[in-house]
Chain A
Amino acid sequence: MTGEFALWVYLSRTPLLWLAVTLLAYAVADRLFQAAGRHPIANPVIHAIWMIGLVLTLTGTPYRAYFEGAQFVHFLLGPATVALAVPLYERRATVTRALLPMLAALLVGCVTAMTSALVFAKLAGIPYDVRLAMAPKSVTTGVAMGIVEALGGDPTLAAVLVMLTGMAGAVIVTPLMRTLRVEDMRARGFAAGLAAHGLGTARAFQVSEVAGTFAGIAMALNAFLTAILVPVAVSFLR
Chain B
Amino acid sequence: MIVSLTLILLAQLLGEVAARAAGLPVPGPVIGMALLLGFLVLRDRTQPASTRWLPPPLVDGGLEGTAKGLLAHLSIMFVPAGVGIVGKLDVLASHGLALAAVLTLSVTLTLAATVLTFVAVSKLLDRR
- For residue A1, CB closer than 8 A to chain B, the reply is no
For B72, the closest partner residue in chain A by CB is A205
List A contacts of B118 (CB < 8 A). 98, 101-102, 104-105, 184, 186-187, 190-191
Q: Which single member of A108, A146, A166 contacts B113 (CB below 8 Å)?
A: A108
Evaluate whether A160 and B111 lie within 8 angstroms (CB atoms) in the complex, with A166-B78, A184-B118 already known: no
For B26, the closest partner residue in chain A by CB is A224
Q: Are B80 and A112 neighbours in the complex by a CB distance under 8 Å?
A: no
Provide a sorted-by-A list of 18 A–B residue pairs whose CB atoms are within 8 angstroms: A44-B75, A48-B79, A49-B79, A63-B84, A73-B77, A77-B78, A78-B28, A80-B77, A85-B40, A101-B117, A102-B118, A104-B118, A130-B99, A180-B115, A187-B119, A212-B71, A216-B33, A228-B25
Tally of A-B Cβ pairs under 8 angstroms: 308
Q: What is the interface of chain B, defined by CB distance below 8 A to chain A? A: 5, 8-9, 11-12, 15, 25-30, 32-37, 39-41, 63-64, 66-68, 70-88, 91-92, 95, 98-119, 121-122, 125
Interface centre among B36, B84, B110 (most CB of A within 10 A): B110
B117 to chain A minimum Cβ distance, whole angstroms, is: 4
Evaluate whether A112 and B114 lie within 8 angstroms (CB atoms) in the complex, with A52-B79, A89-B41, A220-B33 already known: yes
Q: Are A172 and B104 neighbours in the complex by a CB distance under 8 Å?
A: yes
Q: Are A70 and B83 neighbours in the complex by a CB distance under 8 Å?
A: yes
Measured as residues with beta carbon below 8 angstroms from the partner, the interface class of chain A is: 35 or more
Q: Are B103 and A164 neighbours in the complex by a CB distance under 8 Å?
A: yes
Q: Are A124 and B98 neighbours in the complex by a CB distance under 8 Å?
A: yes
- For residue A148, CB closer than 8 A to chain B, the reply is no
Q: Are B36 and A187 neighbours in the complex by a CB distance under 8 Å?
A: no
A77 to chain B minimum Cβ distance, whole angstroms, is: 5
List A contacts of B12 (CB < 8 A). 78-79, 81-82
Q: Which single member of B41, B71, B111, B116 contacts A84 (CB below 8 Å)?
A: B71
B118 to chain A minimum Cβ distance, whole angstroms, is: 4
Evaluate whether A82 and B8 lie within 8 angstroms (CB atoms) in the complex, with A182-B115, A205-B74 already known: yes
Q: Are B66 and A83 neighbours in the complex by a CB distance under 8 Å?
A: yes
List B contacts of A223 (CB < 8 A). 26-27, 30
List A contacts of B63 (CB < 8 A). 86
